[in-house]
Amino acid sequence: MQDLRERHLKTQYELQRAGSSFNEIARELGLSHSTVLSVSNSRSVSAKVQARIAEKIGVHPAEIWPERYPEYKGDPE
């Protein structure tokens, strides 16, 4: 459970560095703040929310939630 909390906090930090927030993502997607937090905390799943969070940070969603994207092998260099 600690790993999930750490991942959530890291995601929050990366969003802040990118000039965004969970609140902003919720507004953009027309969702509640708690829905976006629930996805970030891995308590619920939404490909749409995961994609937007990852887009804001500049990574593929699999880099944040690897268990959801087992087919992802990373960007070829």
Q: How confident is the model at residue 17 (pLDDT cuts 50, 70, 90)?
A: very high
Q: Which residues contact 66 (CB under 8 A, 6 or more apart)?
A: 72
The two tokens of residue 29 are: 């997607």
Tell me the pTM. Answer: 0.87
> Residue 69 has what pLDDT?
86
Residue 29 to residue 8: CA distance in whole angstroms: 19
Distance CA 73, CA 64 (A): 13
Cα 32 from Cα 13, distance rounded (Å): 20
In this prediction, residues 53-77 reach a mean pLDDT of: 86
